[in-house]
Chains A and B, each alone.
Chain A
């Protein structure tokens, strides 16, 4: 066997896996989005008629556009605070202090918590009557109302964003912490000798050192937030009154609550298009970091 054949043989299982378990499903979702069959018929029967009806019905539905807005609010509302918190945590953890290894581990622990677990814990923290958050608000006289954070239309999106931030800031912290450790110490010493203050040191030494990985982490997290399912579905299921229904949740509900596979697929394709648009917009930093 020559080198090329050997290299290809090693790759074959991965290619089969990606083609069969990612590529083929993608082909299916695009196919189904153009199928003019009602409900679950698309699954069991061969598709006879093709057309754009699913797209017309989805795009002319104002609820779809509500979901687009909810998705954007959710993504931005999750990513911006996660990034800032992650940056702060990373800068603090990068300093010298006793018990560093143990404390660093504890601070980043939420990364490993399964989304559903995070969801049930936050449901309990924010329970209207017995939740500790409302208790603390009452005790500090901030608010006496028993706010139903996850059940109130006005607060639900905020309530869903909080556990999402809690789960996603460690990824930023990990990425930035890794990058911080590659910045040579003498750069700081030089900046110090030149009389730079801490703000100047941050913008002239720290930020250039972490910019690439940080931007990449923002893009990846935005893509992940775009399709977040676990936390939203396990806390609110998209409700109340669709206040937390992002495109990902909407596609899932169309498919598995209304059994509208065609419409669900069309929404799925639109979500992928949105993700692709994000990747294209972020092409330059991506290329710089990956290739």
Chain B
């Protein structure tokens, strides 16, 4: 059934309205970020921003008066570290789960599946205790490890899905040509699975970027705060600096939104295939 032009136009209008409603909070965040406090703190805020009043003042505040760049670099360091570590571990494990079937594989697969249902907010208590005993409170490495514990179970199942889609004959051919199994994985299978690897990396990065519970609990010193703990620290002060907070929020979101645009086509097909579940 090919949709007619008129019905496509009607659908477009409906979708556009829906997107408008969904994105209103983001729109409002961006509008607030570009307006001075005097305009923002109004009983009758303008729904469309007065162009004349728009300024970059709030961004200036966020970047200069707040240690936004410190939070950003901490978040970046932790997210990149956790993504890289999780990706290596879960690529190897995903390949093993995809190519070999034994009790060990089955049990590990099930345990990985189960542990991705376990909540970060519960393991944070024992994690805090372990970090305290190890003297690793206020240490970005413990934050990387904590995010890895969340990432590995997810990414392993994602990678297994990608490897399942690559015929085994390809690895077999490579080993016959004289590759060791590890070489076959590295030189032959991984290049084919590269789009999947990218998707898994983006997914891991977005999850690590969003972490709040570990960052809030395992880090005390403000100079080691991440973006989420930084943003949360705006709230609860007397008279929240809303434009500054919204500016910091908008800036903090840019990287994940760009990555999401790259990841989205995969998510739609991948969720059905069972990979991200």
Contacts and interface: CB of A to CB of B under 8 A. Distances in A.
Interface size class of A (residues with CB under 8 A): 35 or more
B122 A113 contact: no
Interface residues of B, number: 105
B214 to A, nearest CB: 10
Contact of A113 (B232, B253, B263, B264): B253
A121 B26 contact: yes
B277 A216 contact: yes
A138 B50 CA distance: 21
Interface string A17-28: 110011111101
A116 interface: yes
Given A124-B246, A125-B25, A275 B271 contact: no
A181 B249 contact: no
A272 interface: yes
- Is chain B's interface secondary structure helix, strand, loop, or mixed overall? helix
A246 to B, nearest CB: 10
A81 interface: no
Contacts of A177: 268, 271
A115 B232 CA distance: 10
B181 A6 contact: yes
B111 interface: yes
A129 B43 contact: yes
B122 A18 contact: no
B256 interface: yes
A99 B12 contact: yes
Contacts, number: 303
Interface in A123-139: 123-125, 127, 129-130, 132, 135, 138-139
Most chain A CB inside 10 Å of its own CB: which residue of B3, B210, B245: B210
Contacts of A18: 108, 111-112, 115, 149, 152-153
A284 interface: no
B256 to A, nearest CB: 5
A22 B152 CA distance: 11
A14 B108 contact: yes
Interface in A95-113: 95-99, 101, 103-113
Interface stretch (A49-57, A58-66, A185-193): A185-193
Given A116-B212, A120-B245, A26 B126 contact: yes
A132 B269 CA distance: 37
B201 to A, nearest CB: 14
B83 interface: no
A178 B272 contact: yes
Interface string A280-291: 000000000110
Contact of B260 (A10, A25, A111, A230): A111
Given A96-B3, A130-B41, A120 B249 contact: yes
Given A22-B115, A275-B117, A112 B206 contact: yes
Contacts of B34: none
A23 B100 CA distance: 24
A174 interface: yes
Nearest to B213: A229
B44 interface: yes
Given A21-B146, A121-B29, A108 B264 contact: yes
Given A97-B9, A271-B119, 19 more contacts: A4-B102, A23-B115, A25-B127, A43-B132, A108-B260, A109-B23, A112-B206, A114-B256, A121-B28, A125-B28, A166-B22, A178-B270, A181-B268, A220-B117, A224-B119, A227-B120, A230-B210, A255-B125, A290-B274
17 contacts: A7-B102, A32-B125, A42-B129, A43-B133, A89-B18, A92-B15, A103-B19, A113-B253, A130-B43, A132-B45, A216-B277, A226-B119, A233-B212, A234-B232, A255-B125, A261-B125, A290-B274
Which 3 residue pairs of A and B lie closest in terms of their CB atoms, listed nearest first? A178-B272, A227-B119, A21-B149
